[in-house]
Chains A and B, each alone.
Chain A
Amino acid sequence: MSGWPGRAEEPIEEPSLPSADTNEQVPLGPLDPTIIHRARSVNADALRIIDELLDQIADSGRR
């Protein structure tokens, strides 16, 4: 018999795999951080460009 003495008497319980009907999901989602960072970078550009545009529309007294 392999393993340590008493191995057969005290079997270690194996963790069960999630079955299809439990509807469990890995909670990380498919969105890679890279794509989130890219979106944030484009959004930052958008904010900068809109800010410049609003500055150009604004009267000089508000600048």
Chain B
Amino acid sequence: MDLDGSKLRGFADLTLALERECRLIEELRQAVVRQREAVPAGDVHGMESSIRLASRALLTLQENRRYRSTLLRQLVGDPAQPLADLDSRFEGVLPEPFVAARRRMQSTAAGVAEEVWRNQELLLAALRERDALLRELLTGSRPTMPETEPPAAATPEG
């Protein structure tokens, strides 16, 4: 496929869409950071604020994703076209702003996914701690912790 004027305009729109998604993922990161600070501090307002911010970012991300699918359908006829494979659909090099935006969105999304995963672990630990404290208040003793695997260094091999 040739990169004619209309295709170049399509790539410009797609680039803007990717940049918008990248900003939304950054908003999500801010919500995640706020949440991480709020949990140990027991900050209810901080938690509510982070949930609101994250929900709004996710909703807008999904809207933007539908818009990106529309742009892809106009560009190559396939709304589910993987962005990394776009290079093989065109003769010549893709516009640099698009390539940079695609790369930035991938690294940002992967980084934020790790941050969200850390929060999930933190929240789970907070729930378990609360359960343990409640049990301690009710029964006077903490539940015994499940035995964990000994560290690798403590089990010499060979």
How many whole Å from A6's CB to the nearest CB in chain B? 28
When the two chains form the complex, which single residue of A28, A37, A40, A46 contacts B28, counting CB atoms closer than 8 Å?
A: A46
The stretch that binds B, out of A7-15, A16-24, A50-58, is A50-58
Distance in Å: Cβ of B70 to nearest Cβ of chain A: 14
CA–CA, A50 and B54, complex, Å: 12
Which residue of A is nearest B106, CB measured? A57
Across the two chains, which residue of chain A brings its CB closest to B25? A50
- Say whether A36 faces chain B, with CB atoms less than 8 Å apart: yes
Our count of residue pairs bridging A and B at CB distance below 8 angstroms stands at 102
Contacts known (A30-B42, A36-B127); A46 close to B82, Cβ less than 8 A? no
The reply to whether the CB of B113 lies closer than 8 angstroms to some CB of chain A is yes
Q: Which of B28, B44, B124 touches A30 (beta carbons < 8 Å)?
A: B44
Q: Is the interface of B mostly helix, strand, loop or mixed?
A: helix
Give the complex CA separation of A55 and B106 in angstroms: 10
Min CB gap A14→B, angstroms: 19
Residues of A within 8 A of B (CB-CB), count:
33
Task: Check: A35 CB closer than 8 A to any chain B CB.
Answer: yes
A42-B58, A57-B105, A59-B84 are contacts. A28–B51 as well, Cβ < 8 Å? no
Which of A31, A42, A57 lies in contact with B42, CB distance below 8 A? Answer: A31
* CB pair A39 B62 closer than 8 Å: no
B90 at the interface (CB under 8 A from A): no
A31 touches B39 (CB 8 A): yes
**Quick one: which of A33, A38, A40, A44 contacts B130, CB cutoff 8 A?**
A33
Q: Which residue of A lies closest to B53 (CB)?
A: A42
User: Is residue B23 contacting chain A, with contact meaning CB distance below 8 A?
Assistant: no
B119 at the A/B interface (Cβ < 8 Å)? yes
Contact A39 B35 (CB under 8 A): yes
Tell me whether B100 is interfacial, beta carbon within 8 Å: no
* Chain B min CB distance to A1 (Å): 33
User: Pick the contact of A42 from B51, B106, B126, B130 — CB < 8 Å?
Assistant: B51
Report which residue of B50, B54, B85, B123 has the largest number of chain A beta carbons within 10 angstroms of its beta carbon. B123
Task: List A residues at the B interface (Cβ < 8 Å).
Answer: 27-33, 35-40, 42-47, 49-60, 62-63
